Structure 1
Amino acid sequence: MDATMKEVFAPHEEIELDLLLEAINRHHHYDFRGYSRASLHRRMERAQQRFDCESLSQLQHRLLREPAVFDELMAFLTIQVSEMFRDPGYFRALRERVIPHLRTYPSLKVWIAGCANGEEFYSLAILFREEGLEDRTIFYCTDISPAALQKAEAGIFALDRIQQFTENHRLAGGKSSLSDYYTAAYGAAVFDK
Structure 2
Amino acid sequence: MLKEKLKNYHIILASGSPRRQQFFKDLDIEFTIDVKKVDEIYPDTLKGTEITDYLADLKAKAFTNLSEKDVLITSDTIVWLNNEALGKPKDAADAFTMLRKLSGKKHEVITSISIKNRHFQKIINDVTTVSFKELTDEEINYYIKNYKPFDKAGAYGIQEWIGFIAIDKMEGSYFNVVGLPIHKLYQEFMKL
User: TM-score, with normalisation over the residues of structure 2?
Assistant: 0.23
Mark the structure with the bigger radius of gyration: 1
More helix per residue:
1
TM-score for both structures, normalised by structure 1: 0.23
The structure richer in strand per residue is: 2
Q: Relative contact order (alpha carbons < 8 A, sep ≥ 6): 1 or 2 greater?
A: 2
